[in-house]
Every structure is written in structure tokens, then in C-alpha cells.
Chains A and B, each alone.
Chain A
Amino acid sequence: MSEGTEQKTDKPNNSKVIKKLVLVVFAMFGFGFALVPLYDVFCDITGLNGKTNDVAVAYADDGIDTSRTVKVQFITRMAKGIPWQFEPVINEVSVHPGEMKFVNFYAKNDSQRDIIGQAVPSVSPGLAAGYFQKIECFCFTQQPLKGGEEVEMGLQFYVDLDLPAEISTLTLSYTLYDISDKVDS
């Protein structure tokens, strides 16, 4: 009987298809996680989301473009639950592309307990992030402050000569997080 034999050939066929589909399921589950590093790479290349360099760069001494002036603004905000004061000493500087600048940020732990803070920078517009070069930044390291302690933290940076012409203002935003729980001390 023809269907009898067909039923028999169907069975291994089924498991072949099922195996492939289950493989796709696991591959796509993995792909979801692979998107995490892929996204980071993509952001590094494009400057999407205003991510700046997280390790210090050396100052590239290629001259200073005095014909252009770029306004760099500093803003700070505290993440939920960190009892610190944190603000730029000056809110805004004007720089020429290629020129090195040094600015300070003030931080004070208003609470009685020791807290480790971590500032996370972000540049707006996002496309400018790749041209904002930090030579030295407190955001590269963690900031442990004892209860009541205050500190001035330095940021040394320059704006790349290749900064697209249409960008005349950069805003550097720092968000300060309490990472005491995440650090084993």
C-alpha cells in the first residue's frame, strides 16, 4: 500500500526538518546575544549613541585649526541614589580643533559612607563622539570617595581636526553612577 511506505519515509524526513529548525532556533537565540558585541563594534565605528573612547589616546600633534572654533559644553547628572555633588567647574569652553584643553570637575560625597562612583560620558551629537578625544579622564577609572570627601577631577581632551564642518557645538554629558555594590572591595 503506497501510503504505508510513504508514512515510513515521512518519519526520518520529519526529524531531519525538525533538527534543522531547532538548530535555527538555537542559532537565533545565540544571535540575540551576539548582537551585544556587534552593537559595540558598530557604535565604535559610527559613534552611534555618543560613545567616546574609554581608554586614553595620545595627543596627535597635527597642528591647530585656528580658523574654526568649536564650543564644548559640559553637563553632569547623578544616577538614581548616589548622594554626591558632581558638576563641571566651568560649563563651557571654546576650542580650536587640534587644540588641547584641560578642565576640572568637582565632586563631593555628601553622605557619611564611602562610595565608589563611576562617571559614564556621552557626546551629543552622537556623530561627533568619534572626534572627541580624551587624553586623560577621570571616567577611565573608578572614583572612590570617603564620606564627606571632596575632589577635583581632571579631563584633558582635544577635538579632532576632521570634525565635520556642520558641527559647531559639542555637549559632553557625564552620568555618575554608584557602583559600590558592583565592585568587590
Chain B
Amino acid sequence: MTTDTINESLDDAHNDDHHDHKMTGIKRWLYTTNHKDIGTLYLWFSFIMLLTGGALAMVIRVELFQPGLQIVEPDFFNQLTTVHGLIMVFGAIMPAFTGFANWMIPMMIGAPDMALPRMNNWSFWILPFAFAILIGSFFMESGAPNFGWTFYAPLSTTYSNGSTAFFVFAVHIMGISSIMGAINIVVTIMNLRTPGMTYMKMPLFVWTFFITAYLLIAVMPVLAGVVTMLLTDTYFGTSFFDAAGGGDPVMFQHIFWFFGHPEVYIMILPAFGIVSTIIPAFARKKLFGYSSMVYATASIALLSFIVWAHHMFTTGMPLFGELFFMYCTMLIAVPTGVKVFNWVATMWRGSLTFEIPMLFSIAFVILFTIGGFSGLMLALTPVDFQYHDTYFVVAHFHYVLVTGSLFSIYAGAYYWLPKWTGYMYNDSLAKWHFWCSLISVNLLFFPMHFLGLAGMPRRIPDYALQFADFNKWVSIGGFAFGLSQLIFLAVVIKCIKGGDKAAAKPWDGAEGLEWTVASPAPYHTFSTPPKVD
């Protein structure tokens, strides 16, 4: 903690508006240690990354609009799918959640700031460098990584196009950033809760980020390890994954997915937290089954460590291995089901109103559940042999990540925009954003289920003629969904510039300490810990 903040908290006669030594211009953002500034940086960064990754997806959908090769070479197509995946996972979804954590956790637990403000600055500001390296590799002689976001060896070692080093360093930086962010979240939640706020009194939002941060601390180092092995295999003659030297390429998949499966929960648990905050506010009821929600989140996190090989059913595992991973995977449906039932039970006989955050949350509950069901289908070993590496998988993880994680991020953004900017967003524009997104996202991803069941493989720039009609609709849905996200940009910019003044608590059913401070939230909040009973 800086001496500044200590002095400020000691001197509570001091007025909030005068003592913030806010620098001006770019320096304010470069040197900031304020959790709200850093949260804003994370959120803007992730939105820029969303548009960048989205632009790559648009090129993919143009290529797939018709059968045959149209505008890109197959190798460049591979680069597009790879970098699209990496940007969306590490650049859009994860930083967006870190942004929410930075903005909201201190305000929700009554803390003056994050526990480690200088590290906070550092963990954000190394991120742009990671993505500059990753995206910059498009302009290198080698081209960008083309081995899929899962970077399976030997595609990323023996058969790499020479981009492995850029890729590895970019991932290392992203990993360091995530780990620092996660440590900060854990320390903040453990040490800076306002007196009286016990663990089981924390908002569920805080709980989900707490558990997610632990997951990050546990698995990001494994990712760092596996990319380091890739690096030495490719450039320093080791043979971790090279059968010629006694290594094993399948082992790569085991280590990668040991990271990879907890990673998918890293991208969805915070979404559960956001939705669990918003649904009670607009149902005007307490969240149904708070403690069961906490335990469900924790059990999902624990189970995520023993299900990784369900990504690898077709690698020739022994039968007992396939059965073990199949049953463990299906077990995850139990705590996830608890959550879905709790959200529905919260809405049951509530006085529902359908403001934009609630619309996105309800869409989340329904569409995420569809993604969950297709996940259950994929968990079944015998049928996974048919679905593996088809568009069914693409449909599944886009339902959980786009209509799941991304929709929850939008829900949260609309919910807290009045608190962040001090103004209400333009409701009709926001409705356009929601309905356009909802319709186009389903046009985009739902037909992919059928394409996959019919056998269309993923990551291929061309397809058989019988898939042409569906792909055309999917592409149209894709373009519409991409354009719809620009409406959100317009909503946010308008909201920052002005609009109806937001009250300290613009949602009458909302609960939590963040609504006890003014809108927009003052630069420094809770210099004196608030009382919680």
C-alpha cells in the first residue's frame, strides 16, 4: 500500500474531490494505481481485443460463406482461427473479468482499493505488449501462429511456421499478468474486507472471483511450463514431445488440458457471479440458495482438475480412462444444475422487470444451459467419437463463451455503467444491441450444431457442397453479430458523454455496498470502512 493511501485513510476529514493527485493525460493512465482506473483500462482493452478478434472471425466467415477457397490461403486461414481463439480467450474474456474484479471487488467489500495497487498497474500494462507480439507476428516473415489456440505438439514444434517463439513469449506475458491479477484479488478479498463482512456474507460475485483467482494461480503456471517445454523442444533440442528423442506428443495434450479445462471455468465462474448479482436485483428477491451457490462454485472448481482428458477421448485412451473422465465430466453437471435451478428459483414469483442487464442475464441462463447440454453430449465417450473436432464442438464452446461469458459481461456492463459513468445508458439503443445480438448470435451458432452432426470438420477453410446453405446463414449471422457489437460501443460512448443523471442506486432491487456511494463512483471510495451487519 502506498503511503499516500495510508495518509488519506488516516485523514478522513479530507474531501474526496481534492486529494486525488490525479495526473493528467496519458500519464494518469500509465502511472495509475487506482483500482477504478485500472478496471477501466482492463475493460477498454478487452473490448478492443473483442473487436480485433471479431474482425479475424469476420474474415473466417467471409471465407466460409461459400464452398471453395475464396479470399485467403489455407495457411492464413489457420493463422486466423488460431489468433482469433487466443485473442478471445486471453485478450477479451479474461481481461474483461479482471476489469470487473478491479472495479467492483473493492467497492463490494468496502475496501479503499486493491491490496497491491502498484502490482495492479504492472499486471495491466504488460498485457498490451503480449498482444502486440501476438498480433505483430501477422506481419512477420513467418506469419502468425497457425497451429490452433490449443497449439498441439508437434504442430507447434516440428511443423511450426517459425512463430512459436513469439507465441510462447506472448503467452508467458499473459500468464504473468493473470497470475499477478489473481494474487491481487485473493489478497484483497482475504485482507481488505470491511469489518463484519465474513466470508459467507460476501456477495456471490466476490466469491466467484475469489475461487477463479485460485484456479488461475493453480493452472497458469502449468501453462507457462508447457509453453516453455514447447520453446525448448522447438529451439533448444529437448524432446519433451518429440517421439524421436523419447518424448510423447500425446503427453502435450495431457499437460495442456490439465491447464485447459480449469481455464474454461476461469472464463465462466465470474459470469456466474455477475448473473447471480443481477437476477436478484430485477426479480426483487434474495438470491435463492446463496450457500449452495458458493459450494457449487467451489465444487465446479475442484472437479475441473480431474476431467481434462475428456478433450482427448479419441487419442486411444484405455477404456477405464475414458469411463473415468466421462463420469467425472458428467458429475460437473450436478453443481452447474444447482446454479441454473437457483437462478430460476430466484426469478420464480419475483416481481420481474426486464431492464437490459436482466435481458442479458435471462438470455445467459437459457443459452448457457444450451451450451451446457451440448457439453454433456460431448462428455459421452461413444458419441464424442462422432462429434470430436467438428462444428458441433465449435457450436458448444461458442454457446458457453459468447452467449455465456460475453453475455454476462454485457449484463454486468449495463448493470454498473450508471455507477461507472454517472449517467444512464440510452435505453432504446441498448435494446437494439440486445435484440440484434440475441437473434444474430443464434443464427450464427445454432446451425453449427447441425453442421457438426453432419460431419463438417472445424478449422478447415473449405467444406463439402451439402454444407453450403447452412454456412451461408451462419456467415450472415456472424456479420450481423459483429456489427451489433458496434451498437454497444455507441451506447458506452454516449453514456460516458452524458444522459440522464444516475442516482446512487438506479436499480431499486439492487443490493450491495457499491450502491451506497454516489454515481459516478468517486475516485476514492471507502477510505473509512463501512459498517456491515
> CB within 8 Å of B: which residues of A?
1, 3-4, 7, 10-11, 13-14, 17-18, 21-22, 24-33, 35-36, 39, 43, 46-51, 54, 79-80, 118, 120, 124-127, 175, 177-179, 181-182
B260-278, CB under 8 A of A: which get 1 and which 0? 0000000000000000000
Q: Does B318 contact A (CB under 8 A)?
A: yes
Partner of A21, one of B186, B237, B258, B528: B186
Partner of B222, one of A11, A13, A32, A47: A32
* Chain B minimum-CB-distance residue to A176: B244
- Is there an interface contact between B224 and A17, defined as CB atoms closer than 8 Å? no
* Chain A minimum-CB-distance residue to B250: A49
Number of A-B residue pairs having CB atoms within 8 Å of each other in the complex: 118
* Chain A minimum-CB-distance residue to B154: A80
Partner of A177, one of B10, B244, B251, B255: B244
Partner of B254, one of A30, A39, A181: A39
Contacts of B258 in A (CB 8 A): 32, 35
Chain B stretch 176-207: residues in CB contact (< 8 A) with chain A: 179, 183, 186-187, 190-192
Q: List 8 A-B contacts (CB under 8 A).
A: A4-B10, A25-B220, A25-B221, A31-B225, A32-B225, A32-B229, A177-B244, A181-B237
Q: Apart from A32-B229, A120-B244, list 14 A-B contacts with CB within 8 A.
A: A7-B6, A10-B191, A14-B116, A17-B191, A18-B187, A21-B183, A24-B217, A25-B221, A26-B221, A28-B218, A28-B222, A35-B255, A36-B229, A36-B255
Bound-state Cα–Cα, A1 to B183, Å = 29
Bound-state Cα–Cα, A126 to B218, Å = 31
Bound-state Cα–Cα, A80 to B221, Å = 32
Partner of A48, one of B1, B218, B221, B317: B317
Bound-state Cα–Cα, A35 to B254, Å = 9
Q: How many residues of B contact A (CB 8 A)?
A: 46
* Chain B minimum-CB-distance residue to A54: B246
A21 to chain B, nearest CB (A): 5
- Is there an interface contact between B528 and A3, defined as CB atoms closer than 8 Å? yes
Known pairs A17-B186, A35-B254, A46-B318; A7 contacts B9 (CB<8 A): yes
Q: Does B248 contact A (CB under 8 A)?
A: yes
Q: Does B515 contact A (CB under 8 A)?
A: no
A107 to chain B, nearest CB (A): 16
Chain B stretch 94-127: residues in CB contact (< 8 A) with chain A: 115-116
Known pairs A11-B1, A24-B217, A175-B243; A31 contacts B222 (CB<8 A): yes
- Is there an interface contact between A32 and B255, defined as CB atoms closer than 8 Å? yes
Closest CB pairs A-B (n = 3): A32-B225, A177-B244, A29-B221
Bound-state Cα–Cα, A118 to B225, Å = 28
Known pairs A14-B191, A120-B244, A179-B244; A28 contacts B221 (CB<8 A): yes
A22 to chain B, nearest CB (A): 7
Partner of B187, one of A7, A17, A24, A51: A17
- Is there an interface contact between A32 and B221, defined as CB atoms closer than 8 Å? yes
Contacts of A28 in B (CB 8 A): 217-222
- Is there an interface contact between B187 and A14, defined as CB atoms closer than 8 Å? yes
A28 to chain B, nearest CB (A): 4
Q: Does B25 contact A (CB under 8 A)?
A: no
Contacts of B10 in A (CB 8 A): 1, 3-4, 7
* Chain B minimum-CB-distance residue to A9: B191
Partner of A124, one of B186, B229, B316, B529: B316
Contacts of A48 in B (CB 8 A): 317-318, 321
* Chain B minimum-CB-distance residue to A11: B1
Contacts of B243 in A (CB 8 A): 120, 175, 177
Known pairs A39-B251, A48-B321; A182 contacts B217 (CB<8 A): no
Bound-state Cα–Cα, A124 to B248, Å = 15
Bound-state Cα–Cα, A124 to B316, Å = 9
Q: Does B226 contact A (CB under 8 A)?
A: yes
- Is there an interface contact between B187 and A21, defined as CB atoms closer than 8 Å? yes
* Chain B minimum-CB-distance residue to A13: B191
* Chain B minimum-CB-distance residue to A117: B244
Contacts of B220 in A (CB 8 A): 25, 28
- Is there an interface contact between A126 and B192, defined as CB atoms closer than 8 Å? no
* Chain B minimum-CB-distance residue to A50: B316
Partner of A36, one of B191, B221, B224, B240: B240
Partner of B224, one of A32, A43, A50, A182: A32
Best-surrounded residue of A31, A49, A79, A182 (most CB of chain B within 10 A): A49
Bound-state Cα–Cα, A39 to B116, Å = 38
Contacts of B187 in A (CB 8 A): 14, 17-18, 21
* Chain A minimum-CB-distance residue to B240: A36
Q: Does B158 contact A (CB under 8 A)?
A: yes
Bound-state Cα–Cα, A21 to B317, Å = 34
Partner of A24, one of B158, B218, B529: B218
Partner of B190, one of A17, A49, A79, A80: A17
Bound-state Cα–Cα, A124 to B250, Å = 15
Bound-state Cα–Cα, A1 to B187, Å = 23
- Is there an interface contact between B226 and A32, defined as CB atoms closer than 8 Å? yes
A101 to chain B, nearest CB (A): 25
- Is there an interface contact between A3 and B9, defined as CB atoms closer than 8 Å? yes
Partner of B217, one of A25, A46, A54, A125: A25
A156 to chain B, nearest CB (A): 22
Bound-state Cα–Cα, A139 to B255, Å = 27
Contacts of A18 in B (CB 8 A): 116, 183, 187
B171 to chain A, nearest CB (A): 13
Contacts of B254 in A (CB 8 A): 35, 39
Partner of B248, one of A29, A39, A79: A39
* Chain B minimum-CB-distance residue to A181: B237
Partner of A182, one of B115, B192, B245, B317: B245
Known pairs A36-B240, A36-B251; A21 contacts B225 (CB<8 A): no
Bound-state Cα–Cα, A33 to B247, Å = 13
B52 to chain A, nearest CB (A): 29
A32 to chain B, nearest CB (A): 3
- Is there an interface contact between A126 and B237, defined as CB atoms closer than 8 Å? no
Best-surrounded residue of B186, B187, B239, B321 (most CB of chain A within 10 A): B187
Contacts of A1 in B (CB 8 A): 10
* Chain A minimum-CB-distance residue to B219: A28
